[in-house]
Structure 1
Amino acid sequence: MTSNDPDLFLSLSAIWVLLLASLVLSLVAVILVVRTRRGRTPRNLANTAYANPDSTVETARTPLREFEKNGQSADAALVNWTPDTLRKILADELPGAQVIVVSNREPYIHNLVDGPDGDEVELVVPASGLVSALEPITRACNGTWIAYGGGSADHLTVGADDSIQVPPDRPSYTLRRVWLSEEEHEGYYLGFANEGLWPLCHIAFTRPVFRTSDWETYQAVNRKFADTVVKEARNERPIVLVQDYHFALLPRMIRERLPEAIVITFWHIPWPNSEVFSICPWREAILDGLLGSSIIGFHTQFHCNNFIESVDRFMESRIEREDAAISYGGQTSLVHAYPISIEWPPVQLETLPSVAECRRDVREKYGLADDVKLCVGVERLDYTKGILDRLRALEDLFERHPEWIGRLTLLQVAAPSRGTLPAYRQLYEECHRYADELNRRFGRNGSKPVLMVAEHHSQRQVYEVYRAADLCLVTSLHDGMNLVAKEFVAARDDERGVLLLSTFAGASKELLEALIVNPYDVTMMADALQQALTMPEQEQRSRMRRMREIVRDNNVYRWAGSMLLDAARLRKRGEMERATAHGGPPAGNGNLLTMIRRGRVAAL
């Protein structure tokens, strides 16, 4: 046969076709294997576990260890987070550990009110994001909550040790109150914390005010709380959860007196970049105080990066960026992102009527017709929440889409806050003046496009409003997380309603099915309002169903459990280092901090 023989050509062609087919089949097989392995993600595992409502930490051990072998964080795969999960972590990984929570705001307030027979004691449960997140955690851990006792009847309801058992209907933990004079509260809380640190961290174009007298009071109050933590500690190794910007100095003060304690500080508000943070006259002291923590937590990785950048710029320290760890003064602090969340399912839903009944009751209360779309905003009256900007967006909507005049009402629940500070008094006046102007221009037949309700609401009342709403506006100019967004989603078990969410709120990094808006862009917000008002029910359900899955899977027990797991790993690390120092076995191969961060020092 010659090279141009047709039979030879056909034979060679058949061989090439077979080889090509084999190659394609091999590639398909490889792709299937890779996809199968990639499909074993934390969310898939979580969905599997949620199919069995009785699954616990025990049933999660196998996937946890599989993820640990692959170098992934153990807490990413831990599923079905419940109070029992937290209790099991404490019992198995932190046996005998006492959990102490420290915050400025207390979960239960007792006030004196006028009654038919004279003064009566009224119990108030504040509608606070911090309280709604921490209260179920403290209940689950049977811990101690230390807070400022600011209620007018708080003194009358505690024992000789300044403590009271709460919740009142089913006591499960201790509330320890700390007393502050009017001068202390004014300098520490209203002054340094809220005229200084609050605007500094939120970058909301309100100038921070720093006074030496406020700083000195802030130091003194932090010392007072440190004294209380030491008194309440049953041994030298408690787990202390320090909350927020009111206590930047507290971790170092605790560390100096309880060196074996695990101090977890969670900063609930944003952390600015180092250039902005440099404005603070006592920046080094604040960083030194926070670096007394074993773990420093923020809502987002972006805020973690800003904090590490600030430490790198102003402190003599060693930063291991891969491990998110800072070595300073002979101690290592981990800096991690822990997105805060809410209890799931919300306990408020147990006693609330159906969505239809909530809609009827709220509309009757505010005199709204059945065909009027109800948009709600729920927050403290604070310049960081973007209330004026959403009023501008409503005005723009009415001007460009006049068909909504008389058919849309914004119910703005704005609890009074820090009313003695000039910036807050000015905001109160501006919001009411703007609302009155919109009502004058766009009111029809007795209806008002804006209802400003500047009063405190209970959590139950807030959830009733969520369930009655067609839209919820969360248009923060800058926020750490903003739990209103998650509460609205959790309240909507009918899978209806639309969430408009600021891109500058931490919740926007999780709730991607919300309509994400730039609160500084009035036209964009008005367009988003139009989209929400005309969104088909099926699209609402699809978006809400996905957001509810996110809030369910990443609930508040997961937030707390992730920090407790990291605390357990730190405690194990300390034990390993002590054993090595005394001639015990080596800590193992590789960087120990890397092992902790990646979950290879198994917590379960």
Structure 2
Amino acid sequence: MTYDPAFLNLASVALVAVAMSAIAIAISIAAWRRRPVPRADDAGQARRTAQEPPRQLLPEFEQNNRLAETPMIAWTADTMRHVIESELPDAEIILVSNREPYIHNLKNGKVELIVPASGLVSALEPVMRACAGTWIAHGGGTADRMVVDRHDRIEVPPDGPRYTLSRVWLSEEEQKGYYLGFANDGLWPLCHIVFTRPIFRESDWEAYRAVNQKFADRIVAEARTPDPVVLVQDYHFALVPRMVRDKLPDATIVTFWHIPWPNPEVFSICPWREQILDGLLGSSVVGFHIQFHCNNFTDSVDRFLESRIEREHSSISYGGQTTLVHPYPISIEWPPAALATQPTVQECRDRMLSRHGLDPQTKLLVGVERLDYTKGILDRFLAFQQLFERYPEWVGKLVFVQIAAPSRGTLPAYRELHAECRAFVDAFNRRFGDKDYQPILLLDQHHNQSDIYTAYRAADACVVSSLHDGMNLVAKEFVASRDDEQGVLILSTFAGASRELLDALIVNPFDPSAMAEAMQHAITMPEDEQRERMHRLREVVSTNNVYRWAGALLQDAARLRKRNRAVENGAAPAPSPPPQPFLRRVLAGPLSRRRGSEARARVDIK
């Protein structure tokens, strides 16, 4: 076939034109992508103040240059100390929480030291040991006043002091209104959305505000410098950041909210929603466990406050100040201190079975919780009942050991839950047990950390069936306890930990049938599959440990602090890279993480 030359010339011209058009379109698209994002001002978008945020503050936080995000580093207390020495060498670090890490009680005329079994304490206490700061907390022990100095301080831990515990005293009336009332009768059910109605009383709000002011005043009193790093912990202190900011405008305030944050529709229930948001936005950084809760918080601010939302930078500009909103998944120390004193897994198992008079061949399911309606304790019992109904061969061969520490027993919802759990267990054991066999053992008293780890190591499976949970450290403690790489974790999809622990059996606690099948899968799982799953779970928990969590918080605080100082001194703040000498030292030394005998890839830093 032949073509007319004129036709071929015309076709060539057309092809060139098409090619040039394509290039022009590509250039236009690239330019469009680089354009500034338009700021819509309609009611559906974020409402903005006339004052622009200090945009030079933000780009650095988009860069993946934190040591906490460097996967080849094994994070330990030593790593944490190196970070503090290199990035916060002159910083004063103050932590505030309601719960104290050490409690002194009078028992038989003698002072007894108690380390509370608290997820918050177990996560933060190793960090404070590493940074040698000041921990401000409510002193609630019966002998707490007897052991402090004239400034209400005591050096802890007792066996080798590493930091200062500063105790704040609350009256019974203050404790009732602030803690039991507004915090736990109001904010706790509001944020967890588990169909327990939150109760808001004006008297509780007044107590909450007064106690927040008392703690803020103590922070200011403890501060020896005008720009300390203040770490505010949890929903008990939503107003503290703003109160501290008013007195210490140069402070770097990092607030971590340990429980979920609800969507704006649910949050609108709170009568003092604007004051809560205003208080939190006194922070330099507000942290949550997962991005979903960050989004809910930002959406709440967008709905209720006149503010500028910069979603691409995860920041909120309000009242002339910019607050960053970031996820920081909390974890536990690795390896956990409680594991060091544990006997072998077989000895732990023998001890548990002997203690409760169980046959050596008995399979064990274990749950460890506070008696709280958010933990889904009754839901796991309902699933256990369905397991027995579907697989009756397990009756007499399987026992559920539920450690359930009493909590907030003066609140009606908690008293009712305790009574309901006890009644269900009694009826269940009458139906499926006898005088020699009780299929559910409800251990509704406080246990020390050593006993809890013994239970973890003895278990064939651990059940975490939270109806809503910010993270849940029980899941991570169970994984950390299983250095034999056996045992199965059954984990609620509504716990933040389910975003990380993907090799658990993920369940919906509102579906007892599916949860019963997960229990059946767990107790019949071959050892090889258990080993593969647990190995991967342990890698996640060991890598993403509490020091990495705190490292991310402190490194963000350090960068903000450096930038604020640069702005005050009139210097143009430039992005600060990771501390290279420290990173080189870590990667070259024993802190570098290895998998078996094979080292991870190293980074050559020039």
Q: Which residue of 2 aligns with 1:284?
A: 274
Q: Which residue of 2 aligns with 1:77?
A: 70
User: Within 5 A, what are the aligned runs for 1:275-314?
Assistant: 275-314=265-304
1:120-146: CA deviation from partner (whole Å, max 9, x where unpaired): 211111110000000000001111111
Please say if residues 241 and 265 of structure 1, whose CA atoms lie closer than 8 Å, have aligned partners that are also in contact.
yes
Q: Secondary structure at the match of 2:154?
A: strand
Q: Which residue of 2 aligns with 1:152?
A: 142
Q: Which residue of 2 aligns with 1:352?
A: 342
Q: What is the root-mean-square deviation of aligned Cα atoms in Å?
A: 1.5
Q: Which runs of 5+ in 2 are unaligned?
A: 3-59, 580-606
Amino acid at match of 2:405: A
Q: Secondary structure at the match of 1:259?
A: coil
Q: Give 1:393's match in structure 2, choosing from 383, 387, 390.
A: 383
Q: Secondary structure at the match of 2:316?
A: strand
The separation in 1 between residues aligned to 2:61 and 2:420, in whole angstroms, is: 57
Q: Please report how far the alpha carbon of residue 577 of structure 1 lies from its aligned counterpart in structure 2 after TM superposition.
A: 2.5
User: Within 5 A, what are the aligned runs for 1:144-543?
Assistant: 144-444=134-434, 446-543=436-533
Q: Please report how far the alpha carbon of residue 70 of structure 1 lies from its aligned counterpart in structure 2 after TM superposition.
A: 11
Please say if residues 465 and 509 of structure 2, whose CA atoms lie closer than 8 Å, have aligned partners that are also in contact.
yes
Please say if residues 202 and 272 of structure 1, whose CA atoms lie closer than 8 Å, have aligned partners that are also in contact.
yes
Q: Please report how far the alpha carbon of residue 88 of structure 1 lies from its aligned counterpart in structure 2 after TM superposition.
A: 1.6
Q: Secondary structure at the match of 2:359?
A: coil
The separation in 1 between residues aligned to 2:62 and 2:207, in whole angstroms, is: 50
1:560-592: CA deviation from partner (whole Å, max 9, x where unpaired): 00011111111122133234xx4x4x446xxxx
The separation in 2 between residues aligned to 1:247 and 1:530, in whole angstroms, is: 43
Q: Secondary structure at the match of 2:196?
A: coil
Q: Give 1:601's match in structure 2, choosing from 545, 554, 576.
A: 576
Question: Which deviates more, 77-86 or 279-288?
Answer: 77-86
Q: Please report how far the alpha carbon of residue 445 of structure 1 lies from its aligned counterpart in structure 2 after TM superposition.
A: 5.9
Q: Which residue of 2 aligns with 1:45?
A: none
Q: Which residue of 1 aligns with 2:87?
A: 93
Please say if residues 473 and 499 of structure 1, whose CA atoms lie closer than 8 Å, have aligned partners that are also in contact.
yes
Q: Secondary structure at the match of 2:135?
A: strand
The separation in 1 between residues aligned to 2:168 and 2:64, in whole angstroms, is: 42
Q: Secondary structure at the match of 1:368?
A: coil
Please say if residues 284 and 324 of structure 2, whose CA atoms lie closer than 8 Å, have aligned partners that are also in contact.
yes
Please say if residues 202 and 479 of structure 1, whose CA atoms lie closer than 8 Å, have aligned partners that are also in contact.
yes
Residues 70 and 96 of structure 1, relative CA distance in 2, 3 Å threshold:
closer
Amino acid at match of 2:185: E
Q: Secondary structure at the match of 1:252?
A: helix
The separation in 2 between residues aligned to 1:167 and 1:93, in whole angstroms, is: 25
Please say if residues 252 and 291 of structure 1, whose CA atoms lie closer than 8 Å, have aligned partners that are also in contact.
yes
1:39-65: CA deviation from partner (whole Å, max 9, x where unpaired): xxxxxxxxxxxxxxxxxxxxxxxxxxx
Q: Please report how far the alpha carbon of residue 398 of structure 1 lies from its aligned counterpart in structure 2 after TM superposition.
A: 0.4
Q: Structure 2 length normalisation: TM-score?
A: 0.84
Q: Which residue of 2 aligns with 1:53?
A: none
Q: Secondary structure at the match of 2:548?
A: helix
The separation in 2 between residues aligned to 1:103 and 1:603, in whole angstroms, is: 30
Residues 207 and 70 of structure 1, relative CA distance in 2, 3 Å threshold:
closer
Please say if residues 65 and 577 of structure 2, whose CA atoms lie closer than 8 Å, have aligned partners that are also in contact.
no
Q: Which residue of 2 aligns with 1:573?
A: 563
1:469-495: CA deviation from partner (whole Å, max 9, x where unpaired): 111000000000000000000000000
The separation in 2 between residues aligned to 1:458 and 1:175, in whole angstroms, is: 21
1:141-200: CA deviation from partner (whole Å, max 9, x where unpaired): 111111000111111111111111111111111111100000000000000000000000
Q: Please report how far the alpha carbon of residue 72 of structure 1 lies from its aligned counterpart in structure 2 after TM superposition.
A: 2.7
Please say if residues 300 and 337 of structure 1, whose CA atoms lie closer than 8 Å, have aligned partners that are also in contact.
yes
The separation in 2 between residues aligned to 1:337 and 1:177, in whole angstroms, is: 29
Please say if residues 467 and 492 of structure 2, whose CA atoms lie closer than 8 Å, have aligned partners that are also in contact.
yes
Q: Which residue of 2 aligns with 1:122?
A: 112
The separation in 2 between residues aligned to 1:454 and 1:432, in whole angstroms, is: 9
Residues 445 and 84 of structure 1, relative CA distance in 2, 3 Å threshold:
same
1:58-81: CA deviation from partner (whole Å, max 9, x where unpaired): xxxxxxxxxx99943433116211
The separation in 2 between residues aligned to 1:71 and 1:460, in whole angstroms, is: 41
Question: Which deviates more, 209-218 or 226-235?
Answer: 226-235
Higher relative contact order (Cα pairs below 8 Å, separated by 6+ residues): 2
The separation in 1 between residues aligned to 2:185 and 2:107, in whole angstroms, is: 30
Q: Structure 1 length normalisation: TM-score?
A: 0.84
Amino acid at match of 1:602: P
Q: Please report how far the alpha carbon of residue 225 of structure 1 lies from its aligned counterpart in structure 2 after TM superposition.
A: 0.3
The separation in 1 between residues aligned to 2:160 and 2:377, in whole angstroms, is: 37
Q: Please report how far the alpha carbon of residue 397 of structure 1 lies from its aligned counterpart in structure 2 after TM superposition.
A: 0.5
Please say if residues 565 and 603 of structure 1, whose CA atoms lie closer than 8 Å, have aligned partners that are also in contact.
no
The separation in 2 between residues aligned to 1:263 and 1:460, in whole angstroms, is: 34
Please say if residues 569 and 603 of structure 1, whose CA atoms lie closer than 8 Å, have aligned partners that are also in contact.
no
Please say if residues 384 and 476 of structure 1, whose CA atoms lie closer than 8 Å, have aligned partners that are also in contact.
yes
Residues 213 and 69 of structure 1, relative CA distance in 2, 3 Å threshold:
closer
Amino acid at match of 2:104: H
1:90-120: CA deviation from partner (whole Å, max 9, x where unpaired): 2211121111110000111111112xxxx12
Q: Please report how far the alpha carbon of residue 231 of structure 1 lies from its aligned counterpart in structure 2 after TM superposition.
A: 1.0
Question: Which deviates more, 92-101 or 270-279?
Answer: 92-101
Structure 1 runs of 4+ off > 4 angstroms? 68-71
Q: Please report how far the alpha carbon of residue 222 of structure 1 lies from its aligned counterpart in structure 2 after TM superposition.
A: 0.4
Please say if residues 193 and 262 of structure 2, whose CA atoms lie closer than 8 Å, have aligned partners that are also in contact.
yes
Aligned residues with identical type, % of pairs: 66
Please say if residues 65 and 578 of structure 2, whose CA atoms lie closer than 8 Å, have aligned partners that are also in contact.
no
The separation in 2 between residues aligned to 1:444 and 1:511, in whole angstroms, is: 37
Amino acid at match of 2:476: K
Please say if residues 405 and 444 of structure 1, whose CA atoms lie closer than 8 Å, have aligned partners that are also in contact.
no
Please say if residues 569 and 602 of structure 1, whose CA atoms lie closer than 8 Å, have aligned partners that are also in contact.
no
Q: Please report how far the alpha carbon of residue 603 of structure 1 lies from its aligned counterpart in structure 2 after TM superposition.
A: 3.8
Q: Secondary structure at the match of 2:430?
A: helix
Q: Give 2:539's match in structure 1, choosing from 549, 574, 593.
A: 549
Amino acid at match of 1:601: S
Please say if residues 133 and 164 of structure 2, whose CA atoms lie closer than 8 Å, have aligned partners that are also in contact.
yes
